[in-house]
């Protein structure tokens, strides 16, 4: 039920709030205003029920309106609303960190908390630079990302990210940054499920950069095990393992950005487990609180953590952190969220559902303009050919049509429709998502 005390009308002023990525311009023409959410559905301000095919924005893995999380946040707000996160602490922060570390691959035992995926990426990159300096290898200052990567919008994440439109207005960004090429190649992998069977050899490009710059100048490589925001691009089979071998050989740190893949999206707590590759750091956000409170963090390997925890105090302090690191409300939300993931076995559920989900999504392959479908975990990218207005126009038309005409929430990346429902999605609801998506694809043909 909607709480009538909430403001439910269309606001008079749709410009005061500058929406992220300047979404206002299109939004004003047909506002999509949300007022409530429960389980698999959003409810609009005019009372329509929208099937959530996007877990909000890859966040709400346990579905919406979870009473346990809401109650935990409310209890925490009454008991202790805010506490300074350094020099002082709250028990919940330590408990949540160890619960997350328990879920992570062995050896990643420490968590640095922040408030978003962007902050997590910047924190991980700064940790890499600081660690090398402490280690007497202060020349290791180069950072390597990938084309078609998204690591948030901080200066670090933007620099190692590989989306031209996110970069081009912001000057030189960080210097000393290189990019590996994207692994996506439609000709070689179209309509493949899970990890593409080709492309592991693209990791060898890192050797080329090592030869070009000298290993002793490179601090870290950051990759998403599955690039979500740029169109659902799973790393090829063997690619991450090969990156690990090369980074290890040359003393370069390997960072997995698991802001999307963390907390069950690929059927495991972290994709690192699915792929059997142990990185030096893992960034996370989104699913850690089921989207109910802003929180991000970096899981850090013992050797890196220990380098800061030994030696003369002032010499090795990490001068980095946020007022809202481990915010009490976010910690409360996080602990309640992890309880739900565990009690409802949602990661295992996602793993079990993956084959059916993939088959269901692949059934869309004969719809008009579908040029590729990529699936992994509870995630599908359905790529449409661009229309005559140029790249992204058909994709955005699909998002609008899905919401306004078919009561379905999806995400789009260019002309790729991303379907990434909460992990509680039922078989029937998977069918419903496919049915609605088929109608949308025909509507924008």
Footprint of ligand PMP on this chain (CB under 6 A)? Answer: 116-118, 121, 150-152, 224, 228-229, 257, 259-260, 285
CB of 118 to ligand PMP, least distance (A): 3
- CA–CA dist 119, 158 (Å, integer): 11
Q: Which residue's Cβ lies closest to ligand PMP?
A: 117
Closer residue to ligand PMP (CB): 85 or 225: 225
Helix (H) or strand (E) segment spanning residue 49: strand 49-52
Given a contact cutoff of 8 angstroms between Cβ atoms, the answer to whether 396 and 26 are in contact is yes
Distance CA 327, CA 322 (A): 10
H or E stretch covering 79: helix 67-79
Q: Using CA atoms, how far apart are residues 2 and 5, in angstroms rounded to an integer?
A: 9
Residue 182, phi then psi, degrees to nearest 5: -65, 150
Quick one: CA torsion of 111, 344, 105, 92, rounded to 10 degrees?
20
Nearest approach in angstroms of CB 394 to ligand PMP is 22
The H or E element containing residue 351 is helix 346-362
**Do the Cβ atoms of 339 and 68 come closer than 8 Å?**
yes
Report the C-alpha gap between 320 and 126 in whole angstroms. Answer: 8
What is the DSSP secondary structure assignment for residue 232, as one 8-state letter? -
Q: Are 127 and 300 in contact (CB under 8 A)?
A: yes
Residue 150 CB, nearest approach to ligand PMP (Å): 5
Beta carbon of residue 116, minimum distance to ligand PMP (angstroms, whole number): 4
Give CA–CA dist 35/12, Å, rounded: 16
Q: Buried b / exposed e across 78-115, counting CB within 10 Å, b at 16+?
A: eeeeeeebeeeebebbeebbebbbebbbeebbbbbbbb
- Min dist CB 160 to ligand PMP, Å, is 10
**CA-based angle 310:314:317, to the nearest 5?**
65
From the list 235, 275, 262, 276, the residue with the least C-alpha distance to 146 is 235
Helices of type H across 161-315 = 164-167, 186-189, 205-213, 239-250, 271-275, 302-309
Q: How far is the CB of 383 from ligand PMP (least distance, A)?
A: 18
- Tell me whether residue 260 or residue 304 sits nearer to ligand PMP (CB atom): 260
Closer of 124 and 360 to ligand PMP (Cβ): 124
* Tokens of residue 104, six digits: 């992570």
Tell me whether residue 128 or residue 285 sits nearer to ligand PMP (CB atom).
285
Residue closer to ligand PMP, measured from CB, 173 or 443: 173
Q: Is 195 or 257 the residue whose CB approaches ligand PMP more closely? A: 257
DSSP string, 190-212: TT-BSS-SS-GGGGGHHHHHHHH
Smallest distance, Å, CB 249 to ligand PMP?
Answer: 26
The nearer residue to ligand PMP, 113 or 150, going by C-beta atoms, is 150
325 neighbors 85 (Cβ within 8 angstroms):
yes
In the bound state with ligand PMP, the residue whose beta carbon lies nearer, of 196 and 228, is 228
Q: Nearer to ligand PMP by C-beta: 164 or 315? A: 164
If the CB atoms of residues 76 and 289 are measured against ligand PMP, the closer one turns out to be 289
Give 150 or 184: the residue with its C-beta nearer to ligand PMP: 150
Q: How far is the CB of 152 from ligand PMP (least distance, A)?
A: 3
């Amino acid at each position: 039920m909607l709480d009538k005390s909430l403001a439910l009308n269309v606001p008079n002023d749709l410009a005061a709030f500058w929406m992220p990525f300047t979404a206002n311009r299109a939004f004003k023409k047909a506002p999509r205003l949300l007022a409530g959410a429960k389980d698999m559905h959003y409810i609009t301000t005019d009372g329509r029920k929208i099937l959530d095919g996007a877990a909000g924005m890859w966040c709400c893995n346990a579905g919406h309106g979870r009473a346990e999380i809401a109650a935990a946040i409310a209890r925490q707000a009454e008991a202790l609303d805010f506490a300074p996160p350094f020099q002082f602490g709250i028990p919940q922060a330590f408990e949540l960190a160890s619960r997350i570390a328990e879920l992570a691959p062995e050896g990643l035992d420490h968590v640095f908390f922040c408030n978003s995926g962007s902050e997590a990426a910047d924190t991980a990159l700064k940790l890499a630079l600081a660690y090398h300096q402490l280690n007497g290898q202060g020349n290791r200052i180069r950072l390597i990302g990938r084309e078609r990567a998204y690591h948030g919008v901080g200066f670090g994440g933007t620099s190692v990210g590989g989306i031209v439109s996110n970069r081009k207005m912001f000057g030189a960004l960080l210097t000393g940054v290189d990019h590996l090429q994207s692994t996506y190649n439609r000709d070689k992998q179209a309509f493949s499920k899970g990890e593409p069977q080709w492309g592991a050899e693209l990791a060898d490009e890192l050797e080329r950069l090592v030869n070009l710059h000298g290993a002793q100048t490179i601090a870290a490589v950051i990759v998403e095990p599955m690039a979500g925001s740029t169109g659902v691009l799973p790393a090829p089979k063997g690619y991450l393992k090969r990156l690990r071998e090369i980074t290890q050989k040359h003393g370069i740190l390997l960072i997995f950005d698991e802001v999307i893949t963390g907390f069950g999206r690929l059927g495991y707590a972290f994709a690192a487990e699915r792929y059997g590759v142990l990185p030096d750091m893992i960034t996370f956000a989104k699913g850690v609180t089921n989207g109910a409170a802003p929180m991000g963090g970096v899981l850090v390997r013992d050797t890196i953590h220990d380098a800061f925890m030994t030696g003369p105090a002032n010499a090795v302090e990490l001068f980095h952190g946020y007022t809202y690191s481990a915010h009490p409300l976010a910690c409360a939300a996080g602990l309640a969220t992890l309880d739900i993931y565990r009690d409802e076995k949602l990661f295992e559920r996602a793993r079990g559902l993956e084959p059916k989900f993939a088959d269901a999504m692949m059934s869309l392959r004969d719809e008009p303009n579908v040029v590729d479908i990529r699936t992994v975990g509870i995630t599908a990218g359905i790529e449409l050919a661009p229309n005559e207005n140029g790249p992204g126009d058909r994709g955005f038309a699909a998002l609008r049509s899905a919401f306004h005409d078919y009561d379905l929430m999806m995400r789009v990346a260019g002309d790729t429709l991303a379907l990434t429902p909460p992990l509680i999605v039922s078989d029937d609801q998977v069918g419903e998502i496919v049915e609605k998506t088929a109608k949308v694809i025909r509507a924008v043909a």
